[in-house]
Amino acid sequence: MEIKIKLRGNRANGKSPKVRLSVNNVVYVDAEIFEISEHTLTIDPLLQNVLSIEHYNKTNDDTIVDDSNNIVADLSVELLGITIDNNSILHTVLHTMPFYVNWPENIIADYQEKDETPPEFIINNLYFGFNGVYKFNFTNNSDIDYFTTFWLDESQAHANQTETADGEEVFKRMGETVTISKDSDFTIHDLKRMVDV
């Protein structure tokens, strides 16, 4: 199985971010990254797999602010894309995966002052401005995973629905208005007939 990971490294304080790329706890890449870089991993997958992208060499001094406290440089990593066996993962799906932050002490102190604890991970984030590990789960069947991402994307769209009818959230499916909780009663063959029209 071939996995391509496209990243952007943002420099600060004259240094570049460091990244470890691993699958199932086996490190394939451990390097500084410059600007846009693409890394190809060739792996023997298990039934269930975890791709980890770790950003690990940042200090608080690597976020540079101007006199107005606006960030002008930030040592960071941006995830631009993941492709598995030539199947690109949708960005909406990439955004749902967790980034486990290694919170710096000052952020932990801020939370403690409010009698709170920082979250174990954050989602909806492909900009790794903190040290931490982004995790993406996949199986040993990239084709099934590829089509599953479309289902996850569609599920997110339905979960974010704002249209209502008779007090229920609804959406348009196959030309009719249905509630979000209604199961589909058509098959993949019905879908094929619609596409072939």
What pLDDT, on the 0 to 100 scale, is given for residue 147?
Answer: 85
The predicted-structure confidence for 113-152, as pLDDT tens digits, reads as follows 999 999 999 998 999 999 999 999 999 999 888 888 887 7
Least confident stretch, 13-17, 20-24, 166-170: 166-170
CA 99, distance to chain mean position in Å, is 8
What pLDDT, on the 0 to 100 scale, is given for residue 186?
Answer: 60
Instruction: Please report how many Cα atoms fall inside a 13 Å half-sphere around the Cα of residue 122, on the Cβ side.
Output: 13
Average the pLDDT over 168-192 and give the result. Answer: 62
Domains located in the chain, CATH noted: 2-147 (2.60.60.40), 163-196 (no CATH)
- 116 or 183, higher pLDDT: 116
Residue 57 DSSP code: -
Average the pLDDT over 10-15 and give the result. Answer: 94
Average the pLDDT over 98-108 and give the result. Answer: 96
What pLDDT, on the 0 to 100 scale, is given for residue 166?
Answer: 77
d(CA 177, CA 104): 48
Residue 44's pLDDT band (boundaries 50, 70, 90)?
Answer: very high
Identity at 170, one-letter amino acid code: V
d(CA 110, CA 142): 42
Q: Is residue 148 within 8 Å of residue 156, measured between CB atoms?
A: no
pTM of the model as a whole: 0.78
Residue 158 DSSP code: H
Q: Mark 99-133 as b/e (b = at least 16 C-beta within 10 Å).
A: bbbebbeeeeeeeeeeeeeeeeeeeebbebbbbbb
Closest Cα to residue 121, out of 136, 132, 112? 132
